[in-house]
Amino acid sequence: MENNYVVIMAGGVGSRFWPYSREKRPKQFQDILGTGQTMIQQTAARFEGVCPKENIYVVTSDIYKELTLEQLPFLNEDQVLCEPVRRNTAPCIAYAAYKIGKKNPDANIVVAPADHVILDVPEFRLRVQTALDYVGSHDILVTLGIRPNRPDTGYGYIQALNNDRLEVLYKVKTFTEKPNEELARAFVLSGDFVWNAGIFVWNVKTIKKAFSTYLDDIDHLFRSVEDKFYTEEETEVIDTIYHQCRDISIDYGIMEHADNVYVMRTDFGWSDLGTWKSLYEQADKNQEENVLHGNIMAYETFNSIVKTPSEKLVVVQGLENYIVAEYDDVLMICEKDHEQRVKQFLANVKEKQDKRFI
């Protein structure tokens, strides 16, 4: 277990979850589901028994360093990797891999976002541990795939080769990012596709070799500063090279090109809690199919989600298929089927309103 490491990606602002997710406190640092734990706390807790706590690293924006240490007090400062600018998942993962690799050249690493919901934690741990065992003895990159139960157009899909297997792992044939509904329906009916959960497992040597092969510019930048990790100079050199990194995802930069990518088909109650609609689908509903979080009195209201501060009484009447969300000093009311406009609302707020609303 001492060779197992976890990297939690927690640098996003969750703009599709505005106004609840804000720049000063994004959704990963909030108790979205009302469980008593924030999303990043839940993410860290589900790796209990997978690796020692000292082997958990968080990559986040430098403005969330103190928030991360406050919510995960078992971390020391070396375990919080601060990005000076956002550059997507490839530089984020490179930073963690090269830093962990300096400490332990035999490290097996799980990379997971901080904002996912996983209901069956024992099954999740079992699958992750199985994947860790494989990458420790095989030169492969593993991604966890979720068996789809509907033709969801908001997720990426992975096609697996049934006739090319490494026991419980299947060789990946194709990645498809957010297909239209017709294509998503065909994918689900075929039985060959799984949702891309964005959770990865690999050995540090394998992922560094992949960076060298497919993203040699990023590889060169991080190799050039490896000797500065765990020193007082780390922050300065990371600030320099991050501004030189291109903005690219690990999926597009490596996973879609590498020939040693395998997927594990899983089903552990996963959801990417990225939007208001996904929260609605995930949360418990009353007999009117409403999700009500707060002190809310609802009349003739159906299929809606209302999330407001508990200290405020909210009365709604005559709503159907709506989002009502209040946090801090912003109230948003939006049709649930138009939730994709939330990013547009936020962009307009940035342009026309005070920064405190962002």
pLDDT band at 153 (very low <50, low <70, confident <90, very high): confident
Backbone angles phi, psi at 39, to 5 degrees: -65, -40
Gap between the Cα atoms of 97 and 78, Å rounded? 14
Indicate the range of 64-68, 188-192, 259-263, 272-276 predicted with least confidence.
272-276
Q: Answer yes or no: are the C-beta atoms of 132 and 201 closer than 8 Å.
A: yes
Q: What is the mean pLDDT of residues 63-87?
A: 97
Terminus-to-terminus CA distance in the chain, angstroms? 42
Predicted confidence at residue 152, as pLDDT, reads 86
Q: What is the mean pLDDT of residues 294-299?
A: 96
Predicted confidence at residue 211, as pLDDT, reads 98
pLDDT tens across 202-214, in order?
A: 999 999 999 999 9
Q: What is the mean pLDDT of residues 8-27?
A: 92
For residue 207, what is the enclosing H or E element? Answer: helix 204-214
Residue type, 222: F
From residue 53, how far is each of 2, 47, 80, 145, 197 by CA, in Å? 10, 9, 13, 26, 23
Percent of the chain at pLDDT above 90? Answer: 85
Q: Locate the domains of the chain by residue range.
A: 4-271, 276-352
Domain 4-271 has CATH 3.40.47.10: no
Predicted confidence at residue 28, as pLDDT, reads 95
pLDDT value at 8 more than 90? yes
Predicted confidence at residue 342, as pLDDT, reads 95
Mean per-residue pLDDT of the chain:
95
Q: What is the mean pLDDT of residues 124-144?
A: 97
Which residues have C-beta within 8 Å of that of residue 137, sequence separation ≥ 6? none
Rg (the chain; Cα; Å): 21
pLDDT tens across 258-287, in order?
A: 999 999 999 999 988 888 988 998 889 999
pLDDT value at 65 more than 90? yes
Predicted confidence at residue 217, as pLDDT, reads 98
Which residue has better confidence, 278 or 298?
298
